[in-house]
Amino acid sequence: MKLRSITRVKDLVGKRVLVRVDYNVPISKKGNVEEMHRIVASIPTITWLLERKARVILLTHIGRPGGKVVARLSVDPVARILSRLLKKKVIIIRTRNWSRISQIEKSLARMKPGDVALCDNIRFSQDEEQNSASFSKELASLGDVFVSDGFGVTHRTSPSVTGIAEYLPSYAGLLLEKEIDGLSRVCSMPTKGSVLVIGGAKMETKLPVILYLKKNIETILTGGGIVNTYLKARGFGVGSSLVDDAYSEEVQKLEKISTIVWPIDVVVGRTDGSGARVVTLGNIPFGICRKNEAILDIGPKTISMYASYIQSATTIIWNGAMGYFEQKPYDTGTLSIARLVATRSKGNAFGMVGGGETVQALRMVKMEEFVDLVSTGGGAMLEFLSGKELPGVNIVSTT
Ligand code: ADP
Ligand code: MG
């Protein structure tokens, strides 16, 4: 996949460049940004534009305000971090009323070449939420050029993600290029030596990835909710484990896919961390745990078996926690996988990790910088890996 890169544009001096970024980051009750990976990842594009004396106007959403102004979801905490990272003032454009586009235009008119502005949460506007065509045109009137760089939101369709591109020359930002390069790379790597590690909770996003990649990946290692759902569907007693019964039929079909590797043991216990013990699995269904217990991690034999696959891999894609890693002792499986993937990456294998909680686990073992590509998008990455097109990428693609 080839993208129309912003680096192709020669003269940007004084141009108003609208950049769709993805600053949808968790904000604490006290109003602090809890996770700044996405903000950090947006810096290269912004710096590149500022060096060329563009007027940089950033658009983002935060959370789901539902078309209303929700003070807690304003961009202020993000602007503070951004300003610190850029070592530069970030002008906040108050867009409490996105329908008064002429007022926003007036505020922006004061910007000088080399200035950077961050517009308030775009989802304060109902028109953004409802994907209004006229709003796309109004937004476009605020700029001369559009840059799509919010990889984490490219699987969506909305005025600020896709609509603007109908009215302005549009390009891919540096982050978008990096993400798509990495994803294209893992998808075109030889089957031999490729490993997909997939866990987490949301079946509806994980199953399509397995089904799409099953022919191209040599080994698929499983953990998390998908395993519980599979075991229950086969008749094992799983107590109060996290399962998605809606997928009980579909998940049984995975049995026929010979490249999928299932855990050979699991850790069961209570969700508060008490009563944890290892249970070895077999082929004949039995009661794995009691009603008030759940399967909360992969077991030690499984970790060591998965390690042997990861340690000989040449391509690794990891998404989804292996267990309930927010609670000890159920963090062992996920954190072990994090260490194994990071250790094998950058050199022996090309390693790609994505997903909110997955990246959090990688950070818990302080090994982020050892992975080739830490994706800023969970949903978008999974959709790409399911063979779906990403609307926010299509608008800047040349193929
Ligand atoms: P990601 O955001 O990394 O794609 P998901 O959102 O799919 O991952 O799921 C992550 C969540 O799933 C984690 O918060 C983790 O605690 C939870 N989880 C994974 N396995 C289990 C399990 N066996 N029991 C309970 N929760 C689990
Ligand atoms: Mg998640």
Q: Looking at the structure, tell me whether residues 154 and 57 fall in a common domain.
A: yes
Judge if 201 and 330 occupy the same domain: yes
Q: Verify that 286 and 309 share a domain, yes or no.
A: yes
List 265's β-bridge partners, or say none: 280
Domain interval for residue 201: 189-385
> Which position has the token pair 């947006």?
42
Boundary residue ending a domain (115, 148, 174): 174
State whether the beta carbon of 325 lies less than 6 angstroms from ligand 1: yes
Residue 226 falls inside a structural domain: yes
pLDDT digits (tens, 9 = 90+) for 134-154: 999 999 999 999 999 999 999
- Which ligand ends up closest to the CA of 326? 1
Residue 160 is predicted with a pLDDT of 98
249: amino acid identity, one letter: E
d(CA 279, CA 241): 14
Identify the residue whose C-alpha is closest to ligand 1 atom 26: 324
User: Is the CB of 320 inside a 6 Å radius of any atom of ligand 1?
Assistant: yes
- Asked if residue 253 and residue 134 are part of one domain, the reply reads no
H helical segments located in 27-152 = 37-51, 76-86, 101-109, 126-129, 133-140
CA angle 64, 86, 392 (to 5 degrees): 40
Question: Percentage of the chain with pLDDT > 70?
Answer: 100
Q: Bin 371: left if φ > 0, else alpha if -120 < ψ < 50, else beta.
A: beta
DSSP three-state, residue 317: strand
Ligand 1 center to 152 CA (angstroms)? 19
For residue 183, being part of any structural domain is answered with no
With a 6 Å cutoff on the Cβ, whether 326 touches ligand 1 is: yes
Same domain, 282 and 168: no
Which ligand has an atom closest to residue 317 CA? Answer: 1
Taking the C-alpha atoms of residue 221 and residue 261, their distance in angstroms, rounded to an integer, is: 5
Q: Which residue has the tokens 């003269």?
A: 11
> Is this structure's pTM higher than 0.85?
yes
One-letter amino acid of 81: I
Q: For residue 9, give the nearest of 52, 59, 55 by alpha carbon.
A: 52
Q: 31-57: b or e for each residue (b if 16 or more CB lie within 10 Å)? A: eebeebbbbebbeebbbbbbebbbbbb
Contact partners, residue 103, CB within 8 Å, separation at least 6: 97
If asked whether residues 236 and 168 sit together in one domain, one would say no
Distance of alpha carbon 116 from the chain centroid? 25
In this structure, the answer to whether residues 196 and 161 fall within a common structural domain is no
193: exposed, middle or buried (C-beta count within 10 Å: 0-12, 13-18, 19+)? middle
Number of structural domains found in the chain: 2
Instruction: Give the pLDDT confidence of 264-297 residue by residue, as tens digits.
Output: 999 999 999 999 999 999 999 999 999 999 999 9
Q: Are 177 and 149 in contact (CB under 8 A)?
A: no
Q: What three-state secondary structure class fits 384?
A: helix
Whether 244 is in the pocket of ligand 1, judged by its Cβ within 6 Å, is: no
The answer to whether residue 55 is domain-embedded is: yes
DSSP 127-142: HHHTT-HHHHHHHHTT
**Which residue has its alpha carbon closest to ligand 1 atom 27?**
324
CB-CB neighbours of 285 under 10 Å: 13
Q: Is the residue at 311 inside a domain?
A: yes
What's the CATH number where 145 sits?
3.40.50.1260
Q: Are residues 212 and 358 in the same domain?
A: yes
Q: Among 332, 341, 357, which is best to mutate for testing ligand 1, by the most ligand atoms less than 8 A from CB?
A: 357
Q: Which residue in this structure is represented by tokens 């569907």? A: 233
Pair 260, 209 in one domain: yes
pLDDT in tens, the chain (399 residues): 899 999 999 999 999 999 999 999 999 999 999 989 999 999 999 999 999 999 999 999 999 999 999 999 999 999 999 999 999 999 999 877 777 888 899 999 999 999 999 999 999 999 998 999 999 999 999 999 999 999 999 999 999 999 999 999 999 999 999 999 999 999 998 999 999 999 999 999 999 999 999 989 999 999 999 999 999 999 999 999 999 999 999 999 999 999 999 999 999 999 999 999 999 999 999 999 999 999 999 999 999 999 999 999 999 999 999 999 999 999 999 999 999 999 999 999 999 999 999 999 999 999 999 999 999 999 999 999 999 999 999 999 997
Helix pair angle (356-364, 332-344), 10° resolution:
80
139: CA distance to ligand 2 center in Å?
A: 30
Q: What pLDDT sits at residue 266?
A: 98
Please tell me the predicted confidence (pLDDT) of residue 101: 86
